Amino acid sequence: AYTLYEKHTQPGFAMTLSDQNYSTTAFHPYYKENWNRVNTYQYMNFDRYIGMEDITNYQKLRNYISDEWDFQHIIDLYEQRDTAKPFFMFNVTMQNHSPYNTGLLRDVHITSMKGDYPQTEEYLSVIRRSDMALEQLVNYFKNVSEPTIILMYGDHQPFIEDEFYEELYGKTLHELSDAENQRRYITHFFMWANYD
């Protein structure tokens, strides 16, 4: 969507929050030119965009910057923020991106299914690491007095073995109902706040 539709200023969270005197930062630990983000985030009215070219001494998991490092960088940016303004960050992580056939991490093993699903196991392994990193991020913001919301979501479901889904549902993908098929494309979200 960024390369097709983002050709001029776009309303959204960054613009709305900028109008309310927030500092707005987009952070994506990958190449800035990818998907035209270097222009798109400017069109979305972010004050600044931090890409992989702007960071050093990062840690990788598989072939991408780890969520553990990424989330610590969020904390660092928060601590360095302009305290006269509320802080908004849009962070697109990379750790859990495909492909899932690298063989570089497979510490989650599916033992209750007949098939062997190495891509699914690699995906579940990186998600497990994200969960551990998210716990560290939440624990940090539990102790921050400023009202804080963390919202996390995925932009699509993982590209893992079709056979995994077929065994999970007990039928071929062609036999799935519309509702079952739609569930394969739903992306869930997680929201946490340090206040009621």
32 vs 193, more confident: 193
pLDDT band at 4 (very low <50, low <70, confident <90, very high): low
What local confidence, expressed as pLDDT, does residue 144 receive? Answer: 97
pLDDT at residue 119 above 90? yes
3-state class (DSSP) for residue 147: coil
79-108 pLDDT, tens digit each = 999 999 999 999 999 999 999 998 888 899
The answer to whether residue 6 scores a pLDDT higher than 70 is no
Tell which wins on pLDDT, 12 or 2. 12
Q: What is the DSSP letter of 153?
A: E
Is the confidence at residue 187, as pLDDT, over 70?
A: yes
Q: Who's near 110: CB < 8 A, 6+ residues apart?
A: 117, 120, 121, 124
Across 45-65, average pLDDT: 95
- Of all residues in the chain, the percent with pLDDT exceeding 70 is 96
pLDDT tier for residue 112 given thresholds of 50, 70 and 90: very high
Which pLDDT band, with edges at 50, 70 and 90, does 192 fall under?
Answer: very high
pLDDT > 80? residue 7: no
Place of tokens 């840690």: 59
pLDDT over 80 (residue 23)? yes
pLDDT at 35: 80
Number of residues written out for the chain: 196
d(Cα 133, Cα 188) in Å, to the nearest integer? 18
Whether 1 has a pLDDT exceeding 70, the answer reads no
> What does the alpha-carbon distance between residue 50 and residue 28 come to, in Å, rounded to a whole number?
6
Q: How far is residue 100's CA from residue 106's CA, in Å, rounded to a whole number?
A: 10
What is the separation of C-alpha 8 from the centre of its chain, rounded to a whole number of angstroms?
Answer: 25
Q: In which band, very low, low, confident or very high, does the pLDDT at 3 lie, cut at 50, 70 and 90?
A: low
Asked whether the whole model's pTM tops 0.85, one would answer yes
CA 12 to CA 73: how far, in whole Å?
24
Give the pLDDT of residue 2: 57
What secondary structure letter does DSSP report for 32? T
